[in-house]
Structure 1
Amino acid sequence: MSKAVLLVVLCFLPVLAIAARPNKNPFVVQGRVYCDNCLAGFETPASTYIHGAVVRLECKDRRTMELTYSHEARTDSTGSYKILVNEDHDDQFCDAMLVRSSQLRCSTVSPGHDRARVTLTRFNGIASDDRFANNMGFLRDAAMPGCADIMKQYQETED
């Protein structure tokens, strides 16, 4: 009997050790934050990327909507951010979201471009640990000069 118990313990001990060990390959959530200089509601050739903007990654339980993970990061000189996430968030909603802009003249959140959903699980067929969030944007206080010409490029019909 004691040999059987010892055998069972020896079989499950490595499984417990592996489960308690942190993941060697964390997920890397990455994206960019831009300033919509033409108030177009999307990125244009006049859009610039914001250095020093704050982005937060939040994960919530799918059933209870309880916050289970939160981490903030700042964008670099190219407006890019990277957030390392060590654990799998299999049954959770995870969103990258804008917190604040570092530019006073471009600090209003662009409606519909304030958050981006990312999938943080290894059980979905995605081979890479890199997760790319859609770009998120802030609106400038007033459109820059030259935006009328840029917006004409997007007109569907000629006047």
Structure 2
Amino acid sequence: MAKSCAIILVSALCFLSFLDIALSSKDRFFIEGKVYCDTCRIQFFTRVSKYLPGAKVKLVCREEANAGNETFTGEGVTDKNGVYKIEVDGDHEEEICEVSVLESADEECSDIPTDGYGHFARVSITGNNGIINPVRQANPLGFLKKDALPQCKEVLRELGFDDVGILV
């Protein structure tokens, strides 16, 4: 009798601890992404681009209404492979959340694009979008190299941009 009570008690404790973990992580998300050096200054990753360690990024969530009041901010720094991770508490279904580049650790590759979409990425931070995994992947973000590499013309030719003058 005492043995069966002990088994029931241990089972109940295990169940409650799993329940606590499940409930506490319900509205916890992890934003992951990569930051690269855009060595050709074209705002997308190529074979001559490189990932940037030590780059700083910022996540901002804003209300869609009410003049975009900020509801959450968080920062991350890339590791040796150019990967950052930002932990987010709470569901942000009714908000616009974007990760953007802040600062590069590479002085030669620290220009922030002012046009296009290479400097920020939108992410959906909600449990109501059919995604079960709490990890949300953001599109790669890039800093521009001060001067494009000489081999960029060949890289662009390989990609089919023969006569397009998009190199800066």
Secondary structure of 1:108's partner? coil
**Cα distance between partner residues in 1 of 2:154 and 2:75:** 37
Counterpart residue number, 2:105: 102
Could you tell me which runs of 5 or more consecutive residues in structure 1 were left unpaired when the two chains were aligned: 1-17
Q: For the Cα contact (< 8 Å) 2:59–2:75, is it kept in 1?
A: yes
**Aligned CA-pair RMSD:** 1.9
| Contact 2:28 2:88 (C-alpha < 8 Å) held by counterparts | yes
The Cα shift of 1:145 comes to: 2.8
Query: In the aligned structure 1, how far is the partner of 2:44 from the partner of 2:96?
Result: 24
Taking a change above 3 Å as real, the CA distance of residues 25 and 89 of structure 1, as seen in their structure-2 partners, is closer
Q: Following TM superposition, by how much is the alpha carbon of 1:41 offset from its aligned partner in structure 2, in angstroms?
A: 2.4
The within-5 A match list for 1:3-152 is 22-23=24-25, 26-64=28-66, 65-110=68-113, 111-152=116-157
Corresponding letter in the other structure for 1:43: F
Q: Quick check: 2:27–2:91 contact (8 Å CA) kept in 1?
A: no
CA contact (8 A) 2:27 2:127 kept: no
Determine what percentage of the aligned residue pairs are the same residue.
Answer: 35
Aligned residues between the structures: 139
With over 3 angstroms needed to count, the CA separation of the structure-2 counterparts of 1:157 and 1:101, relative to structure 1, is closer
TM-score (norm 2): 0.76
- Give the secondary-structure state (helix, strand or coil) at the position aligned to 1:28: strand
Q: Which runs of 5+ in 2 are unaligned?
A: 1-19, 164-168
Residue 11 of structure 1 corresponds to which residue in structure 2? Answer: none
Structure 2 CA distance for partners of 1:149 and 1:116, relative to 1, 3 Å? same
Letter in 2 for 1:51: P
Contact 1:31 1:133 in 2 (8 A): yes
